[in-house]
Amino acid sequence: MATRTENGPAATAEPSAPSPLISFKDVHQVFRLQSAKDENGAGGTRDLVALQGIDVEIHSGQFVALVGASGCGKTTMLNMLAGLVHPTSGEVVLDGTAPELPNMDIGYMFARDALLPWRTARKNVELPLETRGWNRRERQDRAREMLELVGLKGRESQYRLQLSQGMRQRVALARTLAADPSLLLMDEPFAALDARTKLTLQAEFLRIWEQHQGGDRRKTVVFVTHDLQEAVLLADRVIVMLPHPGRIAEDRVIDLPRPRAEDLGEIQFTDEFQRITHDLFERLEGAIGSRAEGRAPR
């Protein structure tokens, strides 16, 4: 997976002893904030530790969920992978190098749809294909195909304002997947949706991802959410984070069977699922109780 891959499949040379696709090595992120003027009239600065001592390795093809309350640095971690933020100290390695912008092999989806309101649904999906040098015909065909995949056939020529929130996130999903990137960064993609729409979209996303599973290219997913249930439901591995400063509290493999896409509704009520979420929840609560403890052992 090179930094700049053209349309063709990336040359993924799988080494016999696989080195991780992503690694965070003792990553710290400090934001210097301009604080309001104090009594002396001096406008001081305040340091905000967004991430502290993050050590994570993610292997190619893994579906990893980052869970945690707002402000624990989840978005910052995704931004680091996208090359939008560079760590204050420590090292982020993506496919052997430091992430750089733009990486054509990344799809990044946001909580807010970030659709261009002056473009139709189809033209929005075409956007990443334009920067990747696809020609008109190819772009149109691909965009139609992607919109159909996310259940928006017939909505190609509608503008953002003419679509419901669920539909907007579908378009955003189609755009994220359109160029077939091998790394998906998902930042609370379904957080703004109502429970029903959310479940439908989770299932659709998982179905699309799981279909690639047996194939030559299984996408790596880093899925940020503040919803523990969603994390356990979708991911192979759940990393629980804590805020102030942002750090990792728990890192656990979820061994629920796959494919899950078709039974998401039922899985939620299985004992196995309940046990895992309950357990993680308790760990989370325990970790909050003993703040000074920092990261839990792996």
Partner 1 sequence: MTISTMRPAPAATPAGNIARPRAWQSRTFINAARVLICVAFLALWEIASRQGWVEETLFGRPSGVWTSMLEYLPSERSLESLRATGAAVGVSFVIGSISGTLAGLILGLSPTLNSIFGPFLAPINSVPRIALAPLFIAWFGLTMTAKVVLAVSIVFFILTENARSAVRSVDADLMTMARVVGLKRASLLLKVVLPSAVPTMFAGLRLTFVYALLGVVASEMVAATGGLGQDIVLYSSSYQINTVFAILVELMAVAIVMNWLFNAAERRLLVWQVS
Ligand X SMILES: Nc1ncnc2c1ncn2[C@@H]1O[C@H](COP(=O)(O)OP(=O)(O)O)[C@@H](O)[C@H]1O
Choose the binding region for partner 1 from 30-38, 45-53, 154-162, 201-209 (rule: CB under 8 A): 154-162
Q: Which residue, 21, 7, 1, is CA-closest to 178?
A: 7
Residues in contact with 14: Cβ distance below 8 Å, sequence separation at least 6, in sequence order: 60
Angle between helices 136-149 and 121-131 (to 10 degrees): 130
Residue 79 tokens read as: 């931004």
118 binds, among Mg ion, ligand X, partner 1, none (CB under 5 to 8 A by kind): partner 1
Using CB under 6 A, pick the residue from 22, 72, 203, 231 that binds ligand X: 72
Confirm or reject binding of residue 248 to ligand X (CB under 6 A): no
User: Could you say which of 5, 29, 62, 75 contacts Mg ion (CB under 5 A)?
Assistant: 75
Nearer to ligand X, 71 or 294 (CB): 71
Q: Does 47 bind ligand X (CB under 6 A)?
A: no
DSSP secondary structure of 160-183: GGGS-HHHHHHHHHHHHHHT--SE
Q: Are 43 and 37 within 8 A, CB to CB?
A: yes
**Cα dihedral sign, 73-254-192-59:** positive
Three-class DSSP category at 34: strand
Residue 160 binds to partner 1 (criterion: CB under 8 A): yes
Q: Which is nearer to partner 1, 119 or 244 (CB)?
A: 119
Check binding of 83 to ligand X (CB under 6 A): no
How many chain residues interact with partner 1 (CB under 8 A)?
Answer: 23
Give the number of residues in contact with ligand X, rule: CB under 6 A.
Answer: 13
76 forms part of the interface with Mg ion (CB under 5 A): no
Query: Which of ligand X, Mg ion, partner 1, none sits in contact with 82, Cβ below 5 to 8 A by type?
Result: partner 1
Best CA proximity match to 135, nearest among 126, 144, 148 = 126
Choose among 126, 146, 124: nearest CA to 134: 126
- CB-based contact 1:182 (threshold 8 Å): yes
Give Cα 105 distance to the centre of its chain: 14
- Residue 76's binding partner among partner 1, ligand X, Mg ion, none (Cβ under 5 to 8 angstroms by kind) is ligand X
Residues 6+ apart with CB under 8 A from 96: 19
Interaction of residue 79 with Mg ion, rule CB under 5 A: no
Which residue of 43, 44, 117, 265 would you call a contact of partner 1, by CB under 8 A? Answer: 117
User: Which chain residues interact with ligand X by CB under 6 A?
Assistant: 31, 33, 48, 50, 68, 70-76, 246
User: Which chain residues interact with partner 1 by CB under 8 A?
Assistant: 82, 84, 101-102, 104, 106, 108, 110, 112, 114, 116-119, 127-128, 130-132, 159-162
